[in-house]
């Protein structure tokens, strides 16, 4: 069983690339690799269907920097560790590479404009129209997020033109009553 037999009778969906009646999922038939590709456009096209939450990562004790991230992931609850990816060509990378603390902001469904602003490399992200202040440890904190998570960086893994940053959660503050912002198929939206 591969777990997709949610209906009564426990339909076995495993086996040979064959779609099974009652499984509720489709599988490509034929041999391994039929209809599959791994070029850049195929990868981008396939991953557009992976819905993700949207976060803004900020840092900068002297000058604030930040970027929108859909790569935020829980690595472990014990110890509490998150990860995110950042391009090393990003205007935020020099600060992220040098500082030990970052602030993660989980965005709400009404914060798509904020995600777009922080989704562009460079530019004035903390100018007029963005409400923020210096919070714990002097980190830039954006107003109105669903949750704020302070991380202490424990490791930076380098892969090609990106870095994966792992950070231990040192503080969390959450707000209630709103739904998260989601990125799916190249657009921002909310849960239905």
Strands (E), 55-146: 55-59, 65-69, 73-77, 80-87, 101-106, 132-134, 140-142
pLDDT at 182 exceeding the cut of 60: yes
Q: Does residue 9 have a pLDDT over 60?
A: no
Q: What is the pLDDT of residues 11-41, one digit of tens each?
A: 333 333 333 333 444 555 444 556 677 888 8
Contact 67, 114 (CB under 8 A): no
* Domain layout of the chain by residue ranges: 1-36, 52-190
The architecture of the domain spanning 52-190 is Roll (2.30)
Q: What is the pLDDT of residues 92-147, one digit of tens each?
A: 999 999 999 999 999 999 999 999 999 988 878 998 889 999 997 899 999 999 99
Find where tokens 């900068």 sit: 60
How confident is the model at residue 33, as a pLDDT? 57
CA distances (Å), 125 to each of 44, 65, 140, in order? 27, 8, 11
Q: Provide the whole-model pTM.
A: 0.78
pLDDT at 149 over 80: yes
Q: Residue 5 pLDDT more than 70?
A: no
Angle at 174 between CA 171 and CA 175, to 5 degrees: 155
């Amino acid at each position: 069983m591969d777990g997709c037999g949610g209906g009564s009778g426990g339909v076995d969906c495993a086996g040979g690339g064959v779609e099974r009646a009652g499984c509720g999922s489709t599988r490509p038939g034929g041999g391994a690799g039929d209809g599959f590709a791994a070029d850049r456009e195929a990868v981008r096209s396939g991953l557009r269907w992976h819905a993700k939450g949207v976060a803004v990562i900020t840092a900068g004790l002297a000058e604030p920097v930040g970027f929108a991230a859909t790569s935020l992931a829980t690595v472990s609850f014990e110890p509490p560790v998150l990860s995110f990816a950042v391009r090393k060509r990003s205007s935020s990378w020099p600060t992220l590479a040098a500082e030990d603390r970052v602030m993660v902001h989980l965005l709400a469904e009404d914060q798509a404009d904020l995600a777009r602003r922080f989704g562009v490399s460079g530019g004035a992200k903390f100018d007029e129209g963005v409400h923020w202040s210096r919070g714990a440890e002097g980190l830039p904190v954006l107003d109105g997020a669903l949750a704020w998570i302070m991380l202490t960086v424990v490791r930076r893994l380098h892969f090609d033109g990106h870095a994966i940053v792992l950070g231990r959660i040192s503080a969390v503050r959450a707000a209630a009553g709103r739904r998260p912002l989601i990125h799916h198929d190249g657009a921002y939206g909310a849960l239905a």
